[in-house]
């Protein structure tokens, strides 16, 4: 044997005995431990007697033993000559260490297996460092993954970008191409609107050495937009040449979406905040020595606070300084919130401020501060609205009650004259030839009087309807006010005489004319005088005075009647209102006469008012026409009107065609005309009437005048007169025509005249008025 080999065999055991970090032991071919070195004691904790004679499974973990790892090592070494591994092993005391181990197969010169040599080295410190680094790397990568952060390094001279998987994924670069690609392959995915700015930012960072920061968009392959934030730092060599640009890219899409949502939310909140009218404040509650809340000081307020409360410069001031008479309720309520921490929501009036508030109060900060925050709204308008609604409801109930009373009164007022009319009509019909002249005249006068009463009642109701719908029209002409008053007095005089009521007048002759509607002014004075007669007892007195005053012309009608109570005086001109609406009332009527007076006076630009010293002391009604409505005497030409003479005209030889679908109406017109000598023919429809007109012309004996109803079945009076006028253009001669109709509005009158009628008379008609118009239109 060579000397060097012999020397090595001598030195090797000595060497191994002094290497404490390497444990060496020998095993026979079956894996039984034959020898050891002292390092086994140091590394594994076993004494030689404990260790030799066992198998290597002694130092393997339970897990490895269960999986047959010790035997697998022997098999690998036997087959391949050696087996290397790095794994956890177990010391005698049960602690584990990380070992770098080798198992060598030992063979003789003939290749026969003689045993194994196991060398172990404690590599636990390095393993712990590697594990720590690996754990740190994993944590970092996890953080990068969770935070969607990509890392990159750009080799500037060689234009090579090395990117991690996150960054490659952002830019749509395949993982195998993530290392070594040019920067343009990444810039190609940048949104076209951001490319120029990004390139400029990169260039500026390289030139200046500043930190590279940029937000930009990446267009991914599926079309999605990815917002990223890039940060990097330039590395330079010793000469200052830029070599690398290293950095990270953060996926900030969520942040951008959140920012966009926040901006939208902020905008919506700002709009909402400006639109709503809520006040906000934080205040410090002030207590006395007994912990009783006595005041509070305003610490913070929002801009709406002053608008909501009307209090300015409130910060730093107390409630009592700003509102000295503030009710104790506010201190007690907020003091309880400060002491208990219980929030409260309530509505209450601050009488000292003249406002109502809806308040949410809650404690803020630490309890010791005794701070209370308020979110409140001035609900004064709402409360006023609720009060108005309650009043409106009460008024609606009152209106319904008045409507019911009015309907009952209307029924009474309609039936009362009808009762007299029907009653006397039956008496006269059943007792023909049996009644004396005086009784017959009494019955006829009663029928006529009650018919006129009912006609006036209907006219008043129609006028009220026109006023309520805004359809009342005035035909303004110069009117002698004194004449209008005298006409009204003449109209009501029979009623006054029946009650022995004296009517005296004092009419200033210098008043002259005013601009007004003759019929409506007659209606004003007739209603006022009728009202005075109704409420003045037998033997009473009524005076009418007219004079110029500074405002224009004043007419006062005073009576010595029952007067008006102070409670009812404010409602005297309201529609359907009566001081006594009971079934036992003394005076009749619908309660619309004075309402008509007020509306008609307002339509003339004037006013009407009432006064009374109380019940039983009479009343005074005053109407005033403004200066602009008055005219000096003779300042304008008077309107030519048809005056009805008291003597009825004779109509001998006048041929009249009467058209009406109602037989009773036709007979009444025929009788009125024939009694004055007219020759009358009649038709019950427009078609027959037109044929009669045509035949009369053909025979050379045309009618002198046509008196026609308007509302008829199939063809109305408008159509008839249009056909008559059209036929006159060929056959002539002109046929005067009167519309006699229950359509009584100004518009109805204009429609009749425009259709071709020369006059428009309203049912029920006055026979004298009809005869006068027939005579005028036929030249009699």
Where residue 493 falls among pLDDT bands split at 50, 70, 90? confident
Where residue 416 falls among pLDDT bands split at 50, 70, 90? low
570-598: average pLDDT:
61
594-617: average pLDDT:
86
- The C-alpha angle 250, 256, 258, rounded to 5 degrees, equals 120
The pLDDT of residue 764 is 85
Enumerate residues 6+ apart whose C-beta is below 8 A from 246. 152, 153, 154, 232, 233, 235
The pLDDT of residue 583 is 36
State the span(s) of the chain assigned CATH 3.30.450.20: 3-123, 147-256, 276-378
Q: What CA–CA distance (Å, rounded) separates 21 from 16?
A: 10
Q: Which of 763, 762, 705, 712 is nearest to 737 (CA)?
A: 705
Cβ-contact 557, 528 below 8 angstroms = yes
Q: How far from the centroid of its chain's Cα atoms is residue 20's Cα? A: 91
| Residue written as token pair 């209008």 | 484
Q: What CA–CA distance (Å, rounded) separates 147 from 207?
A: 30
The CATH number of 3-123, from 3.40.718.10, 3.30.450.20, 3.40.630.10, 3.40.50.300, is 3.30.450.20
Instruction: Give the fold, CATH level 3, of 147-256.
Output: Beta-Lactamase (3.30.450)
User: Does the 473-631 domain belong in CATH 3.40.50.720?
Assistant: no
The pLDDT of residue 302 is 86
359-388: average pLDDT:
91
Least confident of 163-167, 200-204, 419-423, 699-703: 419-423
Tell me the pLDDT tens digit for each residue of 670-708. 998 999 999 999 999 999 999 999 999 989 899 999 999
Where residue 628 falls among pLDDT bands split at 50, 70, 90? low
Q: What CA–CA distance (Å, rounded) separates 321 from 56?
A: 94
b/e per residue, 681-692, with b = 16+ CB within 10 A? ebbbbbeebbeb
Where residue 140 falls among pLDDT bands split at 50, 70, 90? low
Side-chain-side CA neighbours of 218 within 13 Å: the count stands at: 25
Enumerate residues 6+ apart whose C-beta is below 8 A from 231. 211, 212, 213, 247, 248, 249, 250
The pLDDT of residue 639 is 31
Cβ-contact 537, 498 below 8 angstroms = no
pLDDT exceeds 80 at position 622: yes
Tell me the pLDDT tens digit for each residue of 530-543. 888 988 999 999 99
pLDDT exceeds 90 at position 127: no
Where residue 23 falls among pLDDT bands split at 50, 70, 90? confident
pLDDT exceeds 50 at position 643: no
Report the percentage of the chain scoring pLDDT > 70. 84
Enumerate residues 6+ apart whose C-beta is below 8 A from 700. none
Q: What CA–CA distance (Å, rounded) separates 653 from 631?
A: 45
Enumerate residues 6+ apart whose C-beta is below 8 A from 580. 586, 587
pLDDT exceeds 70 at position 271: no
- The C-alpha angle 188, 189, 195, rounded to 5 degrees, equals 70
Where residue 18 falls among pLDDT bands split at 50, 70, 90? low
The pLDDT of residue 275 is 57
The pLDDT of residue 447 is 82
The pLDDT of residue 128 is 80
pLDDT exceeds 70 at position 412: no
Average pLDDT score, the chain = 83
590-597: average pLDDT:
74
Where residue 171 falls among pLDDT bands split at 50, 70, 90? confident
The pLDDT of residue 337 is 95
The pLDDT of residue 636 is 36
What one-character-per-residue DSSP string does 731-760 give? H-----EEEEES--SHHHHHHHHHHT-SEE
Least confident of 651-655, 704-708, 756-760, 765-769: 765-769
The pLDDT of residue 641 is 35
pLDDT exceeds 60 at position 5: no
The pLDDT of residue 736 is 94
State the SS3 of 125-173. HHHHHHHHHHHHHHHHHHHHHHCCEEEEEEECCCCEEEECHHHHHHHCC
User: Would the CA dihedral through 738, 741, 746, 750 be positive or negative?
Assistant: negative
- How distant, in Å, are the alpha carbons of 21, 48, 421 from that of 43? 7, 13, 141
pLDDT exceeds 70 at position 754: yes
Of the ranges 156-165, 291-300, 403-412, 449-458, which is most confident? 291-300
Instruction: Give the fold, CATH level 3, of 276-378.
Output: Beta-Lactamase (3.30.450)
| Residue written as token pair 């249009």 | 722
The pLDDT of residue 285 is 95
pLDDT exceeds 90 at position 562: no
Cβ-contact 214, 198 below 8 angstroms = yes
State the span(s) of the chain assigned CATH 3.40.50.2300: 655-777
Q: Is 711 helix (H, G, I), strand (E, B) or coil?
A: coil
Q: Is 492 exposed, middle or buried (0-12, 13-18, 19+ CB in 10 A)?
A: buried
461-486: average pLDDT:
76
Q: What CA–CA distance (Å, rounded) separates 780 from 767?
A: 16
The pLDDT of residue 150 is 79
Q: What CA–CA distance (Å, rounded) separates 373 from 365?
A: 10
Residues, the chain: 780
User: Would the CA dihedral through 398, 400, 403, 407 be positive or negative?
Assistant: negative
pLDDT exceeds 70 at position 274: no
Where residue 581 falls among pLDDT bands split at 50, 70, 90? very low
Query: 733: cis peptide before it, omega within 30°?
Result: yes
The CATH number of 655-777, from 3.40.50.2300, 3.40.30.10, 3.30.365.10, 3.40.190.10, is 3.40.50.2300
- How distant, in Å, are the alpha carbons of 336, 349, 534, 535, 618 from that of 588? 65, 48, 8, 10, 18
Cβ-contact 568, 590 below 8 angstroms = no
Where residue 3 falls among pLDDT bands split at 50, 70, 90? very low
The pLDDT of residue 82 is 92
The tokens for 458 are 């209907």
Cβ-contact 501, 541 below 8 angstroms = yes
Tell me the pLDDT tens digit for each residue of 544-561. 999 998 888 999 999 998
732-761: average pLDDT:
89
Residue, of 765 and 30, whose pLDDT is higher: 30
Where residue 514 falls among pLDDT bands split at 50, 70, 90? confident
H/E stretch holding 97: strand 96-107
The pLDDT of residue 640 is 35
- How distant, in Å, are the alpha carbons of 24, 84, 91 from that of 21? 10, 17, 14
Where residue 362 falls among pLDDT bands split at 50, 70, 90? very high
């Amino acid at each position: 044997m060579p000397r060097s080999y012999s020397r090595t065999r001598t030195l090797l055991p000595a060497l191994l005995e002094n290497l404490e970090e390497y444990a060496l032991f020998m095993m026979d071919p079956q894996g039984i431990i034959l020898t050891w070195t002292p390092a086994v004691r140091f590394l594994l904790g076993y004494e030689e007697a404990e260790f030799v004679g066992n198998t290597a499974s002694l130092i393997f973990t339970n897990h490895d033993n269960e999986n047959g790892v010790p035997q697998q090592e022997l098999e690998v070494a036997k087959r391949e000559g050696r087996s290397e591994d790095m794994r956890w092993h177990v010391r005698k005391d049960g602690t584990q260490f990380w070992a770098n181990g080798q198992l060598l197969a030992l063979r003789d010169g003939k290749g026969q297996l003689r045993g194994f040599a196991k060398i172990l080295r404690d590599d636990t410190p390095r393993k712990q460092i590697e594990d720590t680094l690996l754990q740190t790397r994993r944590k970092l990568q996890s953080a990068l993954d969770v935070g969607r952060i990509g890392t990159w390094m750009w080799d500037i001279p060689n234009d090579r970008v090395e990117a991690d998987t996150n960054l490659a994924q952002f830019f749509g670069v395949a993982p195998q191409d993530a290392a070594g690609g040019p920067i343009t392959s990444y810039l190609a995915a940048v949104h076209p609107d951001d490319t120029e700015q990004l390139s400029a930012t990169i260039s500026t960072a390289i030139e200046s050495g500043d930190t590279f920061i940029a937000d930009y968009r990446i267009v991914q392959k599926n079309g999605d937009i990815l917002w990223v934030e890039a940060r990097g730092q330039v590395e330079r060599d010793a000469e200052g040449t830029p070599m690398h640009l290293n950095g990270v890219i953060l996926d900030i899409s969520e942040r951008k979406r959140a920012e966009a949502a926040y901006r939208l939310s902020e905008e919506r909140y700002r709009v909402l905040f400006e639109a709503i009218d809520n006040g906000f404040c934080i205040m410090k509650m002030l207590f006395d020595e007994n912990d009783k809340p006595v005041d509070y000081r305003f610490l913070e307020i929002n801009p709406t606070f002053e608008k909501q409360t009307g209090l300015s410069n409130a910060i730093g001031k107390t409630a009592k300084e700003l509102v000295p008479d503030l009710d104790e309720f506010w201190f007690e309520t907020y003091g309880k919130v400060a002491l208990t921490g219980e929030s409260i929501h309530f509505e209450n009036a601050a009488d000292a401020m003249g406002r109502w508030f809806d308040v949410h109060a809650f404690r803020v900060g630490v309890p010791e501060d005794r701070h209370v925050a308020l979110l409140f709204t001035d609900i004064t308008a709402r409360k006023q609205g609720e009060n108005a609604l309650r009043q409106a409801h009460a008024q609606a109930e009152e209106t319904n009650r008045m409507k019911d009373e009015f309907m009952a009164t209307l029924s009474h007022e309609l039936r009362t004259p009808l009762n007299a009319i029907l009653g006397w009509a039956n008496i006269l019909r059943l007792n023909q030839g049996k009644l004396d002249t005086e009784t017959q005249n009494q019955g006829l006068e009663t029928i006529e009087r009650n018919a006129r009463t009912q006609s006036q009642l209907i006219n008043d109701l129609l006028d009220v309807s026109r006023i309520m719908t805004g359809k009342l029209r005035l035909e303004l002409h110069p009117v002698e006010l004194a004449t209008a008053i005298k006409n009204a007095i003449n109209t009501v005089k029979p009623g006054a005489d029946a009650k022995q009521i004296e009517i005296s007048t004092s009419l200033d002759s210098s008043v002259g004319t005013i601009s007004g509607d003759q019929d409506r002014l007659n209606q004003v004075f007739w209603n006022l005088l009728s009202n005075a007669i109704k409420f003045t007892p037998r033997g009473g007195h009524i005076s009418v005075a007219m004079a110029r005053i500074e405002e224009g012309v004043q007419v006062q009608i005073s009576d010595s009647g029952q007067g008006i109570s102070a409670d009812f005086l404010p409602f005297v001109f309201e529609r359907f209102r009566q001081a006594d609406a009971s079934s036992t009332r003394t005076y009749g009527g619908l309660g619309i006469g004075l309402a008509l007076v007020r509306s008609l006076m307002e339509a003339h630009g004037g006013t009407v008012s009432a006064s009374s010293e109380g019940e039983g002391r009479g009343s005074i009604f005053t109407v005033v026409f403004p200066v602009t409505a008055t005219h000096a005497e003779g300042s304008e030409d008077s309107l030519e009107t048809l005056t009805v003479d008291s003597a009825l005209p004779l109509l001998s030889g006048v041929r009249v065609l009467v058209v009406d679908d109602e037989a009773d109406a036709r007979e009444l017109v025929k009788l009125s005309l024939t009694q004055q000598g007219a020759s009358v023919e009649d038709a019950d429809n427009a078609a027959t009437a037109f044929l009669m007109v045509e035949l009369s012309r053909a025979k050379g004996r045309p009618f002198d005048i046509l008196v026609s109803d308007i509302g008829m079945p199939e063809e109305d009076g408008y159509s008839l007169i249009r056909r008559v006028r059209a036929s006159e253009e060929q056959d002539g001669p002109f046929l005067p025509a009167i519309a006699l109709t229950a359509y009584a509005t100004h518009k109805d009158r204009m429609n009749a005249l425009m259709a071709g009628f020369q006059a428009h008379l309203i049912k029920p008609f006055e026979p004298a008025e009809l005869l006068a118009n027939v005579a005028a239109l036929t030249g009699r």
